[in-house]
Amino acid sequence: MKKTKATKLMDAIASLCKRRGFIFQSSDIYGGIAGFWDYGPLGTELKRNIRESWWKSIVQTHENVVGLDSSIIMHPRVWEASGHIGGFSDPMVDCKSCKKRFKADGLCEEQGEDLITTEKGFALPENIKCPNCGSRELTEPRDFDLMFKTFIGPVEDDSARAYLRPETAQGIFTQFSNVLATSRQKIPFGIAQIGKAFRNEINPRNFTFRSREFEQMELEFFVEPGTSEKWHTYWLEERLKWYEKVGLSSDNIHKDVHPKDKLAHYATACVDVAYDFPFGRQELEGVAARGCFDLTQHQECSGKSLEYTDQETNERYIPHVIEPSAGVDRIALALICEAYHVEWLPKKNDSGLEPLEAEPGLRAPDGYEERTVLRFAPTIAPIKVAVFPLLKNKPELVSKARELFEQLQAIWPCFWDQTGAIGRRYRRQDEIGTPYAVTIDFDTLEDNTITLRERDSMKQIRVPINELISILSEKLK
Ligand code: GAP
């Protein structure tokens, strides 16, 4: 099959992620395992920056939001109460010819049709065909359980069955009373959590976008009944501001409002924050108003009261919930896609040629060289500063550069590189998105100045070494 421009672009991005240590296939040396990914040294830093930025904007800067770190495996009754057991499934179809499996609703949507709802479940419209081999011989849609199962203890029978959590949210709901009792919070207040979630997705795809093991950042914000609309608007706006702050252009971010008739039965509103990936517009986060569904369910199933008493009015009620729920891996992928640029630059400054945007899969024209650059916002960039001695065989340059590197490393993640031509070293840093590089040369030994080079403009300025930290602190803010 001929590759589309988007597929070529995603291939180039996935190849860079592997080559430079952002993302590897899980169990790579055994041929990989579908839907599971490992983050290499740079991917780990990138995800850490995403988590820290989210935590700062949600918890640290809101005195009425506190954190939680709940277990991945919980009492199985949690999932009965939440509706996941028996209800957390996707209708799927198999192609009888090529044996591939697809999500029924996605398949219909791609072919401009709607999945038909019947008394027994679902049916496919007549003209749907297999996107892989073109066959119209597809099975009827059947439910496919998305919960990963395991057993607790030595006996593997139904009484020992447990589940890997498909979302972090239920850990928050089940600890609502404990957190309330220990944190001296009053409604409105929130509990935030970052952690792994697991879903046995039918069709993991689009690189890390739909994985079977992924990480969520969720806030459950508890409010007084009747105030949901106000808080839903507040959190949606907060989240949109955050996306811009971490470097996703507002042109590529969209609010997808769920129509009232497509909402889950308990929800009163849901807006997805979606991003224009090369493979199309897709959800990064859902911001939902979930009513009092979750706490009511857990109150009924556990027999423990989850009511809140307003100390001033003595009024008792089950709080309503606003839930911004985002995926770390999807945000990391969006940031990489947004940052990824390939340029063709004139080899010579005086050639009269203009820089060009590269065409995926094509070679740079004569007179040009290619530069790949990840234009991460400084707060998100895995490495903030690279330090280079001009020549590795001049001990006085190396020791001066090393001294500076150690000072900078105490403040920011830094990278030391002393091999290869200086231009090549700059290009290596461009490709991993390092915003600044510092070169120590012979002039440094004379006048204590260094060259500071900026990634996007490639401009170089001379800076006194004793002013470097304050200049970088300002630029990396
Ligand atoms: N507690 C609500 C909840 O879990 P969701 O829309 O199913 O809602 C929230 O998931 C977010 O988790 C999504 O917006 C997405 O960013 C992330 N997510 C969900 N399934 C995912 C998957 N299979 N792979 C990667 N991220 C996923």
Q: How would you write the pLDDT of the chain (477 residues) with one tens digit per residue?
A: 678 889 999 999 999 999 999 999 999 999 999 999 999 999 999 999 999 999 999 999 999 999 999 999 999 999 999 999 877 778 889 888 888 888 898 899 889 898 898 877 789 998 899 998 999 999 889 888 899 999 999 999 989 999 999 999 999 999 999 999 999 999 999 999 999 999 999 889 899 999 999 999 999 999 999 999 999 999 999 999 999 999 999 999 999 999 998 888 889 999 999 999 999 999 999 999 999 999 999 999 999 999 999 999 999 999 999 999 999 999 999 999 999 999 999 999 888 999 999 987 789 999 999 999 999 999 999 999 999 999 999 999 999 999 999 999 999 999 999 999 999 999 999 999 999 999 999 999 999 999 999 999 999 999 999 999 999 999 998
220 lines ligand 1 (CB under 6 A): no
The Å distance, Cα 238 to ligand 1 centre, comes to: 19
How far is 103 from 141, CA to CA, in rounded Å? 9
Structure tokens given for 250: 């507002």
The Å distance, Cα 336 to ligand 1 centre, comes to: 19
Q: Which fold has domain 89-145?
A: Rubrerythrin, domain 2 (2.20.28)
The beta strands (E) that lie in 172-268 are given as 189-198, 213-223, 253-257
How far is 319 from 102, CA to CA, in rounded Å? 39
Q: Where are the domains of the chain?
A: 5-76+155-337, 89-145, 383-475
Q: Identify the pLDDT of residue 198.
A: 98
45 lines ligand 1 (CB under 6 A): no
Query: Residue 466: what are its φ and ψ, rounded to 5°?
Result: -80, -5
Q: Which fold has domain 383-475?
A: Rossmann fold (3.40.50)
SS3 90: strand
How far is 322 from 300, CA to CA, in rounded Å? 21
294 lines ligand 1 (CB under 6 A): no
How far is 161 from 88, CA to CA, in rounded Å? 16
User: Among all chains, which residue has been given the structure tokens 């012979």?
Assistant: 442
Q: Which of 175, 212, 171, 211 is nearest to 195 (CA)?
A: 171
The Å distance, Cα 460 to ligand 1 centre, comes to: 43
Q: Which of 81, 85, 196 is nearest to 147 (CA)?
A: 85
Paired sense of beta strands 320-327 and 213-223, if any: antiparallel
The beta strands (E) that lie in 267-380 are given as 269-277, 280-291, 308-309, 316-317, 320-327, 340-346, 356-357, 368-374
DSSP 3: P
Given a contact cutoff of 8 angstroms between Cβ atoms, the answer to whether 209 and 274 are in contact is no
Nearest CA to ligand 1 atom 4: 167
Residue 226 CB neighbours (<10 A) = 9
Paired sense of beta strands 65-67 and 189-198, if any: parallel
Each residue of 310-331: b (16+ CB within 10 Å) or e?
Answer: eeeeeeeebbbbbbbbbbbbbb
Q: State which H helix or E strand residue 452 sits in.
A: strand 449-454
The DSSP bridge partners found for residue 66 are: 191
CA 440 from centre of chain? 36
Question: How many CA atoms lie less than 13 Å away from 242 in the CB half-sphere?
Answer: 23
The DSSP bridge partners found for residue 387 are: 416, 438
How far is 318 from 309, CA to CA, in rounded Å? 9
Query: Residue 55: what are its φ and ψ, rounded to 5°?
Result: -60, -40
199 lines ligand 1 (CB under 6 A): yes
Nearest CA to ligand 1 atom 6: 286
Nearest CA to ligand 1 atom 14: 285
How far is 125 from 319, CA to CA, in rounded Å? 42
The Å distance, Cα 326 to ligand 1 centre, comes to: 6
Best probe residue, ligand 1, of 217, 283, 297, 322 (max atoms within 8 Å of C-beta): 283
| CATH architecture designation of domain 5-76+155-337 | 2-Layer Sandwich (3.30)
218 lines ligand 1 (CB under 6 A): yes
How far is 87 from 67, CA to CA, in rounded Å? 28
For helices 41-55 and 228-245, angle between their N-to-C axes, nearest 10 degrees = 140
**Domain 5-76+155-337 and domain 383-475 have a common topology:** no
Report which ligand 1 atom has the smallest distance to the Cα of 272.
Answer: 14
Structure tokens given for 468: 């470097």
How far is 193 from 215, CA to CA, in rounded Å? 10
